[in-house]
Every structure is written in C-alpha cells, then in structure tokens.
Amino acid sequence: MSRDPDKLHAFHLADALIIDIYKETEAFPISERFGLQAQIRRAAVSMAANIVEGSARRSIREYVHFLNVATGSAFETRYLLTLASRLGLVPAGPAQELINRATVLAKALISLMKALDRMDR
C-alpha cells in the first residue's frame, strides 16, 4: 500500500473538496470571516493535511492515527456545512453536494484505516 499521498484516492477527494469549499464559502459575510468561514476551511484543510502528515510517519499505527484525525475532520466539515446551510450562508443544493463528498471521503478513509489495520497484524 502506497504511502505517497498523491497515489491515494482519499487524498485526491480531500484536496478537491478543499478547493470547492473555499469557493463556496467565499461569499460569506465579513462578520463570518473569523467565525464559521474560517472554521469550515480549517476543518477541510485538516482532512488533507492529516493524510499527508500521516503518510510521512514511520509506523502504520501512527499513520492510522492521522487518518483517524482526518476522518474526524471530514465529519466536522459535514456538520459545519450543514450549519452554514441552515444559517442561509450556503445554499442547500451546493451544501448537500459538499456534504455528500465529505461523506464519501470519510468512508474512503475508514476503508483505508481498516486495510492498514489488517496489514499491521
């Protein structure tokens, strides 16, 4: 199994999702620049950043730890997008599409962790 994040489907899902989240949150009001906008963006970046950081770790156990953090960030991103939609900051359609993609990412990360756990036995 590759440790090169560029060869991981989950990394590409996370990376593309970040770009689209940045675009979708661009129009947030200035009052949210340091609030919900920043929090959504941080959670999104955390998904990919933890995949990359984990891939550089020496042990599978450490790698899985960072993938677990990335999974948590994917779920956080989902919630924050739901909240932004309920507050009227992101239209329901685009928010749901981003939420669905974050769900697909979380499932891919969970599958990757399971595969790594099997290798570590």
Domain boundaries, the chain: 5-119
Does the pTM exceed 0.75? Answer: yes
Confidence category of residue 2, pLDDT binned at 50, 70, 90: low
Q: What's the token pair of residue 84? A: 């932004």
The whole-number pLDDT of residue 98 equals 98
pLDDT higher than 80, residue 120? no
- Which residues does 44 contact at the CB level (< 8 Å), separation at least 6? 14, 17, 18, 21, 22, 73, 77
Characterize 8-23 residue by residue with b for buried, 16 or more Cβ atoms within 10 angstroms of its Cβ, and e for exposed. bebbbbbbebbeebee
pLDDT cut 90: percent of the chain above it: 91
Q: Which fold has domain 5-119?
A: de novo design (two linked rop proteins) (1.20.1440)
